[in-house]
Structure 1
Amino acid sequence: MRHAINRLGVKGSVLVIKHGRPWLDYATANKADTSYLINSVQKSMTATMVMREVQKGKLSLDDRLSEYFPDITGAQDVKIRNLINMTSGLDLAQGEKLGTKHFVSDEDNLEADINKTVYNPKMLGKWHYTAVNYVYLCGILSKIEKKSYEKLFKQTYIDPLNLKHTEFLWSNEKELHDSHWVPGYQKHNGKYKRVHHAKAVRDAHNELGAGSIVMSNADLAKTISAMLGGNLLTDQSRSILFKGEKPKYYNGGFYNLQDYKVANGAGAGYYTFLRSTNNGKEMIIIQSNRTKKGVFFKTRNKVNQIMAVMLNLEDAESLGL
């Protein structure tokens, strides 16, 4: 297993969980407890926060977006479940980007996004990946709880799970240092160039609930385990959120393969590859702060193959083979 992972050529940190316990925990660069920007892997955490509001009775997956943001075009047609599963028909107008050029506040970003959002009714109920869905989910969470998404995230994950190496990318220098964070690098013309931190922070603000958290492998594994098998959600909530309506291959921030779940993150010089069984007992997490154009999708597919082999080995062991 270690040899197969090392052949990927990913420079970073590796964690493999078997039967709920660390099996491999090492670094090919940096350290095992280094924290990285997890990018889109954060979406499943935001979706879990939304589902907790459903459990409390403060929200329904069938609520219309217009109940919270009536000025969004098409909001009267779009349900909360559409936002979670990327089937809203919403997107940014062509050529537009999330948020603002200079960050002022989450509210200011939301207003800017609302003005740039377009709606295609023919795409309602059809899967189309766009982070704007999760930005609006963050806004809904803040409206319901009357707290910032950042504070809600800390109250949901960082404090109760005692996460030691998890921060928002815009945290101060000491907090990032204490989390064992490393900056991201992108390869250009044969050399790795450090991503400008101010730009990365701006982008993180603009993708609030979809790409703003730095985590170590251990913290990420603990969080995913709590979501999939802990007490953050009831069994019923998990079955609705992570195995819900069409499209079956993407629900609640995860891609659902036959035997395991997939979440990937890429951006600002970071890769995160997460694979987990439905109960969180078997898991592969590989993170890096060295990225190169054209490598992500190849590596993603190879990590899938390694996870499939790992699960086949698990099946063989259970049969005494």
Structure 2
Amino acid sequence: MVAQYSHGFANVSTKQGNGLKTMYEIDSVQKSLTAGILAQQLNANKVQFTTPLAHFYPRFKPEPQLTVAHALHMTSGLSTKATLPGKTDQAVLAANLRKLTYQPKNFGKFQYTPVNYVLLAGISEKLTHRSYRQLFTRTYIKPLGLKQTRFADALGQTPLAAQGYYAKDYHQKQLTVAKPNWDLIRGELGTGQVFMSVLDLYHAEQALVNGKITGASHDLLYVKKGVYSGGFYVKQPYYQANGTGYGYNGSIAISHNGQNAVLYLSNIQTNNRNQLLTAERKLMVKYGQ
């Protein structure tokens, strides 16, 4: 580790400070980890990048051109208006399949819509007959020895989990406590259900991009052409992912070999996260490539 900085409170009311072991909701950064879980099935030849989504979801039989690769790159033209709540993974998948829309004009074009990764999480479940939570544990938590990683609804009373807050900007002293809607968070299947510490997140992402987890599927998973691939933005000379929601905000920029990275996780959600993204980008350009 070259440098680390912790600031503020994980919990304002108890004066528990933020630190390297503090866990934060990683929100949409989780999509990159979902892509890694699917990579296990790609490496086992249980599915191909060219496999039609209709193979798993009959709802898409009228659109045989939609493939696993289109979902990974978010070029499918599929979208939903909002996160759809659910008490089980099956309920979440069913709700999304009912409500999603296909826009032919957007097919083949990048459009950031989380439902793509909800469907990919469902495909991994269908192929393995295991829950996403079981797959996440088998892929990341156990083999990498992650100690500060939990699903949001399994946090319990651990003081290591930061309380989320809303604020207009990062300098505002008046904070609003974020109160989680567990059904909504469960609805973020594969796209925003996990709490992690900064170091746990780095070790998981490093194992992804250096090929330890993605293996033979690595180069097809992270296509350098385009905008988004495998849960990362790939336009820069490094991979980058962001997450915002439920009172949290975070991001990671990581070199293609996984050696160098700049990460931040915050328990304040604001409308001006570009301040931190700009700082992350400057640090990565100067030190991380």
Specify if TM > 0.5. yes
Q: What pairs with 1:297-308 in structure 2 (closer than 5 Å)?
A: 297-308=274-285
The secondary structure found in structure 1 opposite 2:4 is strand
Letter in 2 for 1:209: G
Letter in 2 for 1:149: Y
Q: What pairs with 1:55-204 in structure 2 (closer than 5 Å)?
A: 55-72=43-60, 74-92=62-80, 96-100=81-85, 103-174=86-157, 177=158, 180-187=160-167, 191-197=174-180, 199=181, 201-204=182-185
2:12 matched to 1:24?
no
Corresponding residue for 1:11? none
Q: Distance in 2 between matches of 1:75 and 1:146?
A: 25
Q: Distance in 2 between matches of 1:196 and 1:25?
A: 29
Q: Cα RMSD (Å) of the superposition?
A: 1.8
The secondary structure found in structure 1 opposite 2:98 is helix
Alignment check: 8 A CA contact 1:74 1:121 kept? no
2:233 matched to 1:233?
no
2:201 matched to 1:220?
yes
TM-score, scaled relative to structure 1: 0.82
2:248 matched to 1:270?
yes
Q: How far did 1:240 drift?
A: 1.1
Picking from 37, 41, 51, the partner of 1:53 is 41
Letter in 2 for 1:28: H
Q: Distance in 1 between matches of 2:87 and 2:186?
A: 10
Q: Distance in 2 between matches of 1:130 and 1:203?
A: 16
Is there any run of 5+ residues in structure 1 with no aligned partner, and where?
A: 1-21, 315-321
The secondary structure found in structure 1 opposite 2:38 is helix
Picking from 33, 44, 60, the partner of 2:21 is 33
Q: How far did 1:51 drift?
A: 1.6
Letter in 2 for 1:286: Y
Q: Distance in 1 between matches of 2:61 and 2:28?
A: 25
Alignment check: 8 A CA contact 2:39 2:213 kept? no
Alignment check: 8 A CA contact 1:187 1:193 kept? yes
1:3-44, Cα deviation, whole Å (9 max, x unpaired): xxxxxxxxxxxxxxxxxxx11133122112111001111111
Alignment check: 8 A CA contact 2:164 2:178 kept? yes
Letter in 1 for 2:278: N
Letter in 2 for 1:182: A
Identity %: 31
Q: Distance in 1 between matches of 2:247 and 2:145?
A: 27
Alignment check: 8 A CA contact 2:49 2:69 kept? yes
Corresponding residue for 1:14? none
2:223 matched to 1:243?
yes
Q: Distance in 1 between matches of 2:35 and 2:214?
A: 11
Alignment check: 8 A CA contact 1:74 1:119 kept? no
Q: How many residues align?
A: 277
Alignment check: 8 A CA contact 1:73 1:118 kept? no
TM-score, scaled relative to structure 2: 0.90
Alignment check: 8 A CA contact 2:92 2:189 kept? no
Q: How far did 1:298 drift?
A: 3.2
Work out which of the two has the higher radius of gyration on C-alpha atoms and give 1 or 2: 1
The secondary structure found in structure 1 opposite 2:93 is helix
Q: Distance in 2 between matches of 1:262 and 1:210?
A: 15
Corresponding residue for 2:287? 310
Structure 1 stretches of 4+ with a deviation exceeding 3 A read: 72-75
Picking from 185, 188, 193, the partner of 1:207 is 188
The secondary structure found in structure 1 opposite 2:284 is helix
Is there any run of 5+ residues in structure 2 with no aligned partner, and where?
A: 9-17
1:259-299, Cα deviation, whole Å (9 max, x unpaired): 21111111111111211100111111111101222x11232
